[in-house]
Amino acid sequence: MTDPLIDKPRICIIGTGLIGGSLALALKHAEFCGRITGAARTEATLIRALELGVIDDYDTDMQAAVADADIVVVCVPLCAMRAVFSLIEPALKTGAIVTDAGSAKQSVIRDAAETLGRHYTNFVAGHPIAGTERSGVQAAFKELYRQRRVILTPTDDTGPDALHRVGAMWRATGAEVETMSADHHDLVLAGTSHLPHMLAFGLVDCLNSLEDVNEIFRFAAGGFRDFTRIASSDPVMWRDICLSNRDQVMEMLDRFHTEMRAIYTAMESNDGERLQAIFERAKKARDQFCG
């Protein structure tokens, strides 16, 4: 296999926001690659990325941007993946590797399989388990992926060299790389990432509809702020995640609804013993896995 640490690849990042921008900064810091080209529909975003030293050059024409790239990283909302894959496919050079950073993998793999043609064997679906509630290239920082996990979900069609090079790229950022099936990834992330975001968005929207909303938010303590911090995340991105991972997220919402109904029933019947049992079980699990 070609070692990308020796043969430094030229990289094109489509979407230079928090995720793509932080990847670029981390790869520059690690001296992993040659030039990094940014691509996006909005030139102002790319100009800002260039000014901040996130990218070396840019092009609003995505086909021109990927023409010389050895690795193309697509960091756009999930519902835009298919259109981007379809657009860049004719311009990809032979051997170019395409990967992504989307939070749901089955939908992205379907989009890639149906649009990338002969390049599909060089497609590696990926998801960095990292982020903040902030968005935009101005929020990017090189340490975002350090000691965080990146999950790759190769298929039976994924070429081993492509998988190796994408894994090496993410390890250069300081991330821990793991592989799993796309369906398992989507179920796990529906519970550990997607559901918490839905709860945060839902809670804030619920409280915001109350008459004394100003008083409620005025006296919100640290727990409320910590829990709802992720409700400041990009609404477009999370809309797309819900739609792209719809079945798995709905399954987790059903499970959570059942749990909340159990708590409601215990309170309705003044069953303190049952409430305490639920809370103790939850505390034990949280302390065990996240302590």
For residue 4, is pLDDT > 60?
Answer: no
Name the percent of the chain lying above pLDDT 70. Answer: 98
33-81 pLDDT, tens digit per residue, is: 999 999 998 899 999 999 999 999 999 999 999 999 999 999 999 999 9
> What pLDDT sits at residue 7?
76
Query: What pTM, to 2 d.p., does this model score?
Result: 0.86
Question: Which domains, ranges and CATH numbers included, belong to the chain?
Answer: 11-180 (3.40.50.720), 184-290 (1.10.3660.10)
pLDDT for 89-148, tens place per residue?
999 999 999 999 999 999 999 999 999 999 999 999 999 999 877 888 999 999 999 999
| Mean pLDDT, residues 190-197 | 94
The pLDDT of residue 84 is above 90: yes
DSSP element (H, E) containing 176: strand 176-179
The DSSP H or E segment spanning 184 is helix 182-189
d(CA 168, CA 150) in angstroms, rounded, equals: 11
Nearest to 192 by CA among 256, 239, 144, 273: 256
Biggest CA-to-CA distance, the chain: 68
In this predicted structure, the answer to whether residue 5 has a pLDDT above a threshold of 60 is no
- The CA distance from 176 to 127, in Å, is 12
Mean pLDDT of 4-10: 71
Specify the length of the chain in residues. Answer: 291
pLDDT number for residue 131:
80
Q: Sign of the C-alpha dihedral, residues 84, 86, 88, 93?
A: positive
- Asked if 89 and 111 count as a contact pair (C-beta separation under 8 A), the reply is no
Going through 166-258 in order, the beta strands assigned E by DSSP cover: 176-179
Mean pLDDT of the chain: 93
Say whether pLDDT at 171 is over 60.
yes
* Residue of 130, 134, 138, 122 lying closest to 170 (CA atoms): 130
pLDDT bin (cut points 50, 70, 90) of residue 219 is confident
Query: 181 is written with which tokens?
Result: 């099936």
Q: Classify burial at 210, counting beta carbons within 10 Å of its beta carbon; exposed 0-12, middle 13-18, buried 19 or more.
A: exposed
Q: Average pLDDT in the 180-206 region?
A: 95
Strand, helix or coil for residue 13: strand
**Cβ–Cβ under 8 Å, residues 138 and 177:** no
Q: What is the mean pLDDT of residues 261-270?
A: 97
